[in-house]
Amino acid sequence: MTEAATPRLEVAGLSRRFGARAVVADLSLAIAAGQVTCLLGPSGCGKSTTLRIIAGVDRPDAGTIRIDGRVVCDDRVAVPPERRSVGLMFQDFALFPHLTVAGNVGFGLAGMDRQTAAARVGELLERVNLPGFAAKYPHELSGGEQQRVALARALAPRPRVMLMDEPFSGLDNRLRDGIRDSTLDLLKETGTAVLLVTHEPDEAMRMADEIALMRDGRIVQQGAPYNIYNAPADRAAAAFFSDIN
């Protein structure tokens, strides 16, 4: 396989049970560099569990995960999260309250010399339009500002793959569309592969190159947003999209 054809992220046959319940069932997907895939489905269908397994903070019962062709998880291998080159972003942003904005953004740059790390932090704060915020603390920021700090923090170590779990759900309705668009611009600029989890069809339609529609732990349909919107695989998929205006 040529380098260009190797997906940034490749998940095959991922399964996870909690007790008797299959929360993730034989899930497979591949994401190329620069591609945004939305894992879309109703609450409780297994999206966050899937993301946590890919991040490496939970282990599957079966399946293989490759990043840039390298196995980071299978029945013998379990590369720890900090060595998978994944960036993480959550609904509540999960900033470190005792660290400044600069401390948060630079958190993943521990291996870098201080000057280079400081330059990288400054560059990212400019890019997310928060110049002058370096010395502030998270509690001094609005929700939208916290979201941008979380995005800068996740991107700082130049991850190969970005994993985002409902990263806009906590935001005010008025801000959300603008922040979605600016986030997407920045993600596209970095060329990282993005897996974005959401339960909102309109968010997936707005952001995704590809939608993976999930239900009861399985991907029931996968494709370009308008193909799925125009030709949902079944009645449940159609109903799920029907509240988009």
Nearest to 167 by CA among 198, 206, 193, 131: 198
Tell which phi-psi region holds residue 100, choosing left (phi > 0), alpha (psi between -120 and 50) or beta: beta
Least distance from Mg ion to the Cβ atom of residue 43, Å:
7
Instruction: Give the number of other Cβ atoms within 10 Å of residue 36's Cβ.
Output: 21
Question: Could you tell me which stretch among 5-13, 40-48, 118-126, 151-159 binds ligand ADP (CB under 6 A)?
Answer: 40-48
The closest residue (CB) to Mg ion is: 48
Least distance from ligand ADP to the Cβ atom of residue 84, Å:
19
Does residue number 48 form part of the binding site for Mg ion (CB under 5 A)?
Answer: yes
Q: What is the DSSP string of 42-91?
A: -TTSSHHHHHHHHHTSS--SEEEEEETTEEEESSS-B--GGGTTEEEE-T
Least distance from ligand ADP to the Cβ atom of residue 43, Å:
4
2's contact among ligand ADP, Mg ion, none, with CB below 5 to 8 A by partner kind, is none
Does residue number 46 form part of the binding site for ligand ADP (CB under 6 A)?
Answer: yes
Task: Out of 9, 11, 23, 196, name the contact with ligand ADP by CB under 6 A.
Answer: 23
Does residue number 59 form part of the binding site for ligand ADP (CB under 6 A)?
Answer: no
Tokens 């915020």 belong to: 133
How far is residue 101's CA from residue 134's CA, in Å, rounded to a whole number? Answer: 5
Chain residues that interact with ligand ADP, rule: CB under 6 A: 18, 23, 41, 43-49
